[in-house]
Amino acid sequence: MRRVWVTGASGFVGSNIAYVLAARHGVEVIAPTHADVDLTDGALVARSAAATRPDAIVHAAILNDFLELTARRRDAWEAFVGATRNVVDAANAADVPVVLISTDWVFDGTSPPAPAAEDEPPNPINMYGFLKAASELVVSQRARRGVIARVAGVQGVHRARVGGGRVARVQDAGFGYLVASMVEALRAGRPFTVWDGPGLNALATPTLATDAGELIWRALEREVTGVLHCVGGEHADRVALARRAVKAYDLDPDLLLTGPPPDGAIPPGIAIPRDTRLDATRTAALLDADLPDLDMTLARLGAELDTAWSTTA
């Protein structure tokens, strides 16, 4: 595996996958931006992939705006499903594997009882989950050598931003960036309120972005196909995750608060899956991987935060 074409490498998850491939495994990463290649243009995608002659394609690009997904449904469909179709066709033409980065939000969070296994049919309840589930179907039915890599509760640093994206991001209904945002606030002596209550993704399987990248690398190296849950080895609720992080990093527990989201913080009319825990037993066996527990995940995350943030201190 010498060269991998990665879409969405300027994003949070994509930048970590690109980092793992390049920095840890010596892979040449071809990372076109949207300005370079419009993924909804099938002919352009085909030409770009053919010209770079990759050994694999990883498709991590998304339209990352929940309100836009419902306000611009045709554009959203093309950004997810149409782009996935174009990327899969390019991979088929090059006779290389294609990895779609998907999500635990393809499940509704209530049934079947979580944790959901790799072979559980999706049942999304919002537009993002629906578009990801539809994209998964494109890969499963169209790709000759397809991998659907679901990630969940992703934590880490943003490799495409200076200092790992140190400026704290506003908390959202999911788990992403939760620990990094909390750590930044508490280290600065500011209180941080972890949202709790109805209408939130309350339970998930926290995953370090670079750990997900390592599992994807293993899948490519071992030529594994099908649905994989590229996640950590321990489930948690959002409040417990924050408290474990406070203890792991020796932060002031009195600064950690819990409470409902502020008015208007959650986009109205968008259903959020409550329990999206994923079972990765099959994935771990296929990849011969030991999935880290939460203590190990937090230790690795702490090291990544310290390294990234020390460059901008």
For 150-210, the DSSP string reads EE-SEES--TTSGGGT-SPPPP-SS-TTHHHHHHHHHHTT--EEEE-STTS--EE--EEHH
Q: What is the pLDDT of residue 167?
A: 47
Q: How far apart are CA 43 and CA 62, in angstroms?
A: 19
Task: Give the pLDDT of residue 154.
Answer: 96
Contact between 86 and 92 under an 8 Å Cβ cutoff? The reply is no
The single-letter code of the amino acid at 159 is: R
Q: Please give the pLDDT value at position 169.
A: 57
SS3 call for 101: strand
Q: pLDDT under 70 in the chain at which residues?
A: 111-112, 162-170, 311-313
Classify the C-alpha dihedral 162-164-168-174 as positive or negative.
positive
Q: What does DSSP assign to residue 217?
A: H
* pLDDT, tens digit (0-9, with 9 covering 90-100), for 32-68: 998 999 999 999 999 999 999 999 999 999 988 888 8
Residue with tokens 């419902």: 70
Residue extents of the structural domains in the chain: 3-310
Say what the pLDDT of residue 99 is: 98
Rg from Cα positions in the chain: 19
CATH code given to domain 3-310: 3.40.50.720
- ∠ CA 220-226-229, nearest 5°, is 80
pLDDT of residue 163: 62
The whole-number pLDDT of residue 227 equals 98
State both tokens at 79.
Answer: 């950004």
Cα three-residue angle 148-175-186, rounded to 5 degrees? 145
